[in-house]
Amino acid sequence: MAHEIKIPSVGESITSATLGTWHKGEGEYVKAGEILLTIETDKISTELESDRDGYLHHLAAEGAELAIGAPVASIEEGDAPAGQSSSDSAPAASAPEPSATLKSAEVKSKSATDTSGGGETVKATPVARKIAEGEGIDLSSVSGTGSGGKITKADVLDAAGSPSSTTSVGAATGRGSDPSPATAESVVPSSKRVTRKKMSPLRRKIATHLVNAQQEAAILTTFNECDMSAIMDLRKRVQEDFVARHGVKLGFMSFFIKAVVDALKAVPSVNAQIEGDELIENHFYDIGIAVGTDKGLMVPVMRDCDQKSFAELEKGIVGYAGKARDGKMALTDLQGGVFTITNGGTYGSLLSTPILNPPQSGILGMHSIQQRPVAVNGEVVIRPMMYLALSYDHRVVDGKEAVTFLVRVKDCIENPERMMLG
């Protein structure tokens, strides 16, 4: 009996998800608790596990967008093949026969690259088919190293890197496997010059979010600079003891979080937001920290930063960085937040104008630390300086308040002992 695995609900506002990666192959024997696939939404990535032992059958290919509740896979219960562990692929001959529904789904997923010149079906994983179609590779010319001779992703990638792969373009375009020189010339360059792919849900959400922010808010940016000498000296003095006591390094971000909390308390209007025709002033300090990932920008939220120590903030930052790297960010990690800090300096940015994270009314941009000449007590000295940028919603925050806020942040950063003493 086949048991369906469906796309789970991952948030009230999320109606669909994209199948990101298959971690188990078609027909492979899996055990309960093993990770089968990763789905991606416009906010987070989620791994789906098997709830039983059996043979896995794919009902969708990587990149497919599926509605919440739609079936993405099925598991045909059965005993593990003799002599194989749970991580081994099931031989093609020993796998239970899929149901009629599964057969139909498999037929629909086949492409023009799935049949050989003799009309025989080529056995290949969905990922291998997708890559072969994009590269214009005739699967009938690829040797499979998977179970039962099945063609895997690695087989197709190996074929794509060989000189012979360029001669099979016609198979993917319906022109035959031996195109004329003119045909090959007109097809191959076009596939190398341009790559067209569907935007991920996360990238679409980011695009919509940023455009809406610029259209709905009256965004203005004010700038200042701060001398990082005091923080750098303080970190050098206490770093060894801090690591020994707390198990994490003392970074710059915790100082900026504390500085922002101090400034929000001093200028409450920056901790406010518009909701309809009402102005809501927040009395808590949940600060979003922008994190760049290979899938796009995420803004996990550090809760109650006014009540956390430097060590607790640093541990929280390390934890979120690990979650972002491993794709483990939960929806609750990204919700809420009254203010955002983004650090473009990690990528070498000298100056920028950050865009608001609605419905918040302020965002602080940190930048690269550079040795620059500055005047101190009437003398020119070289100091490690950082430009700061505060973008704010001018509908909520007046210019005087914005400048006062940023000057307060600057003062806190240049006098860090005061923040550490509370």
If asked whether residues 172 and 214 sit together in one domain, one would say: no
Query: For residue 120, what pLDDT is reported?
Result: 53
* pLDDT score of 292: 80
> Which of 109, 143, 168 is the endpoint of a domain?
109
Cβ atoms of residues 355 and 214 within 8 Å: yes
Note whether 233 and 85 are same-domain residues: no
Selected residue with higher pLDDT from 69 and 43: 69
Domain boundary among 148, 177, 198: 198
First to last CA, the chain: 63
Give residue 95's pLDDT. Answer: 40
Same domain for 409 and 286 = yes
Q: Which residues of 121-154 are buried (b: 16+ CB within 10 A; e: fewer)?
A: ebbbbbbbbbbbbbbbbbbbbbebebbeebbbbe
Give residue for tokens 């993405």: 72
Which tens digit of pLDDT belongs to each residue from 289-315? 998 877 777 899 999 999 999 999 999
132-136, 258-262, 355-359: which is most confident: 258-262
**Is residue 263 domain-shared with residue 241, that is, in the same domain?**
yes
The helix (run of H) or strand (run of E) holding residue 403 is helix 399-414
pLDDT on residue 377: 92
What's the CATH number where 50 sits?
2.40.50.100
> What amino acid occupies position 7?
I
The pLDDT score that the predictor gives to residue 312 is: 97
| Length in residues, the chain | 422
Determine the residue type at 281: E
Q: Say if residue 170's pLDDT is above 60.
A: no
Q: What are the contacts of 300-308 at 24+ separation with CB within 8 A?
A: 300/324, 300/329, 300/333, 300/334, 301/333, 301/334, 301/335, 301/336, 301/337, 302/257, 303/336, 305/257, 305/258, 305/260, 305/261, 306/261, 306/265
H or E stretch covering 410 = helix 399-414
**Per-residue pLDDT band at 83 (split at 50, 70, 90):** low
pLDDT 10s digits, 318-332? 999 888 888 788 888
Confidence of residue 406 (pLDDT cuts 50, 70, 90): very high
Q: Do 41 and 17 contact (CB within 8 A), yes or no?
A: yes
Count of the separate structural domains present in the chain: 3
Does 394 participate in catalysis according to the annotation?
yes
At 187-196, the pLDDT tens digits run 444 457 888 8
CATH of residue 206's domain is 3.30.559.10
* Marked catalytic residue, from 23, 209, 246, 394: 394
pLDDT tens digits for range 350-386: 999 999 998 999 999 999 999 999 999 999 999 999 9
Residue 342: the pLDDT is 96
279 and 378 fall within a common domain: yes
pLDDT reported for residue 133: 76
Q: Are residues 244 and 382 in the same domain?
A: yes
Residues 143 and 157 placed together within one structural domain of the fold? yes
Q: Which pLDDT score, from 0 to 100, does residue 99 have?
A: 41
pLDDT score, position 212? 84
For residues 184-212, average pLDDT? 70
Examine the domain organization and report whether 32 and 164 are in the same domain.
Answer: no
Q: Same domain for 278 and 213?
A: yes
- What secondary structure letter does DSSP report for 99? P
Predicted pLDDT of residue 58: 94
Taking 70 as the threshold, does the pLDDT of residue 87 lie above it? no
Q: What is the residue range of 381's domain?
A: 201-420
Q: Are residues 205 and 193 in the same domain?
A: no
- Say if residue 420's pLDDT is above 90: no
Shared-domain flag, residues 139 and 270: no
User: Which backbone phi and psi does 136 adopt, to 5 degrees?
Assistant: 70, 40
Q: Is 105's pLDDT higher than 90?
A: no
Residues 336 and 399 in one domain: yes
| % the chain with pLDDT above 70 | 78
